[in-house]
Amino acid sequence: MLSLNLPSFEAKIKNLDGKNVIYDVLRRRYVALTPEEWVRQHFVHFLIEHKGYPQSLMGNEVMLKLNGMTRRCDTLLYNRDLSAKMIIEYKAPNIEINQKVFTQISNYNLVLRVDYLIVSNGIRHYCCKMNYENQNFCFLETIPDYSLL
């Protein structure tokens, strides 16, 4: 798989029925190893191991209803009361982070109203802090440590 702009980790990869799969620590099972999944697993490990995010407050492929349709958030971080705190959207490394990607995550946020939005393709990462009182957001220079959220 491609080298990413994220710390490496000891990925559990195996071949199952002729297809590569990777162990997802949040879903506690092996999943298909796609380029987007490669980014997701690196980013989740980065958040847990380097930024102090509690694994117990994170979920992958979390379903939500948007305009009557079922959608899946790539990763959600929850508050201790289990309300949504952060949405993280991943793309494969060859996918450009553009307005379409930000529109996608913004649509999810119409339902969840989180404090933070993150978009990453494993090479470039963008984090926004929402300000609902002023109806705006600001881009942060780095992904914040969990203790600073």
Q: How confident is the model at residue 66, as a pLDDT? A: 86
Instruction: Say if residue 1's pLDDT is above 80.
Output: no
- Of 15-19, 44-48, 63-67, least confident by mean pLDDT is 63-67
Mean of the pLDDT values across residues 99-116?
A: 95
Distances (CA, A) of 17 to 2, 21, 37, 64: 23, 10, 18, 31
- The pair of three-digit structure tokens given for residue 51, joined into one six-digit string: 């930024």
Lowest mean pLDDT among 5-14, 63-72, 85-94, 135-144: 63-72
Q: Dig out the tokens for 136 from the structure.
A: 């705006």
Task: Give the domains, in start order, of the chain with CATH numbers.
Answer: 53-148 (3.90.1570.30)
